[in-house]
Amino acid sequence: MKYGYIGLGLMGGGLARNLIRAGKDVTVFDLNPEAIKKTLAVGTTGKAAQGAAELAGCDVVFTSLPLPKHIEGTMLGEEGLLSKMKAGATYIDVSTIDPKTARKLAEAAESKGIGFLACPLGKGPAQAEKAEQPIFAGGKKEVYEKMLDTLKIVGNPVYYLGGAEQAYAFKLISNMIGMTNLAVLAEGLRIGEKAGIEPKQLQELLADTGANSFQLQVRGPWILNNDFGNRFGVSLALKDVRLGCDMADDWGYDARFTKLAKKFYEIAEAQGFANEDCNAVYKVL
């Protein structure tokens, strides 16, 4: 089976390397030559493409791209890759996009006789590199079952949520909660500083109360050490929160808490922290 992988960033690169480590025939493409070089360095079964169109003959194509417009520009339309792929192939997207874009992708793939799976991811680059990345899959059950062994190569555990729209909706909801929680955590840490509580002790004590959270456990120590290195950047966090709020609006629900948190990520981006980790929201609170 021949695999294609488009998008070798912090998340996609790790998944593509897992395929190569497993000895799979993988053709990769990214606009960044260094990302390609890093990915091909892990094994001998990978090769580079000069453009996305070169992946048209693959049996399975993955995409991991930043924004819905990047996915649409790469995959849809007369020049999009879906128009060039062979019937019976499978397209798997692991990006974080919105349910409306999911419908477009699913419909375009189905019209060409191509299977489609939405497979957004649950954690960060470190888990992606070790094939310990939770995968939330959505699409037709027969396509999911056909691709399950492949998905288990790039990440684990793998969950099936039903339709592609449900998979993307879940990921957006997860990030809405996570990023809002992070903003509240940053605010709490600032108030603790005002109260004169030693910051390390503050975090240790919070972890033993109802204030404990993934963000406290993971990003709390980074904040404590002034570590704002980009694992999941402010700009990407803001993109996901915006998509989530728009999704909720489409369904007639006003995501008030998330919209409030979104304002602080917007401030962080405007103040030049776009390419720092999303924990940089601490700097603007």
Q: What is the pLDDT of residue 7?
A: 98
Question: In this structure, are residues 185 and 220 in contact, taking their beta carbons and an 8 Å threshold?
Answer: yes
pLDDT digits (tens, 9 = 90+) for 94-105: 999 999 999 999
What is the model's pLDDT at position 206? 98
Can you tell me which residue has the tokens 């005002």? Answer: 194
Cα–Cα distance list, 234 to 8, 128, 274, 281 (Å): 19, 19, 5, 8
The interaxial angle of helices 199-206 and 214-224, nearest 10 deg, is 170
Best CATH choice for the domain 2-162 from the list 3.40.50.720, 2.60.40.420, 3.40.50.1950, 3.10.150.10: 3.40.50.720
How much is the average pLDDT of 103-113? 97
3-class state of residue 59 by DSSP: coil
d(CA 131, CA 4): 18
Asked, as a colleague might, if the bond just before 199 is cis with ω within 30 of 0, I would say no
Q: Look at residue 72 in the predicted model and tell me its pLDDT.
A: 97
Cβ-based neighbour number of residue 78 at 10 Å: 6
Q: Which parts of 140-233 fold into alpha helices (H)?
A: 141-154, 164-194, 199-206, 214-224
Could you give the 3-state DSSP secondary structure of residue 47? strand
**For residue 65, which of 37, 43, 32 has the smallest C-alpha distance?**
32
Q: Output the pLDDT for position 162.
A: 96
pLDDT tens, 172-228?
Answer: 999 999 999 999 999 999 999 999 999 999 999 999 999 999 999 999 999 999 999
The predicted pLDDT at position 99 comes to: 95
Contacts of 53 (CB under 8 A, 6+ apart): 81, 84
Q: What is the pLDDT of residues 249-263, one digit of tens each?
A: 999 999 999 999 999
**Rounded mean pLDDT of 90-116?**
97
Asked whether this chain's domains 2-162 and 167-284 adopt the same fold, the reply is no
Q: Is 171 a catalytic residue?
A: yes
pLDDT bin (cut points 50, 70, 90) of residue 151 is very high
Please tell me the pTM assigned to this model.
0.93
For 195, counting Cβ atoms within 10 Å of its Cβ (0-12 exposed, 13-18 middle, 19+ buried), the class is exposed
What pLDDT is stored for residue 210 in this prediction? 98
Enumerate the domain spans of the chain.
2-162, 167-284
23-30 mean pLDDT: 98
Distance of CA 137 to the CA centre of its chain: 13
The CATH code for residues 167-284 is: 1.10.1040.10
What pLDDT, on a 0 to 100 scale, did the predictor assign at position 129?
96
Q: Could you give the C-alpha distances from 67 to 25, 74, 111, 123, in angstroms and in order?
A: 27, 11, 23, 18
Which of 171, 239, 262, 283 is catalytic? The answer is 171
For residue 230, name the pLDDT band (cuts at 50, 70, 90). Answer: very high
Closest CA to 125 of 40, 279, 13: 13
Tell me the average pLDDT of the chain.
97
pLDDT of 275: 96
Report how far residue 92's alpha carbon sits from residue 205's, in angstroms, rounded to the nearest whole number: 43
Alpha carbon distance 4, 112 (integer Å) = 18
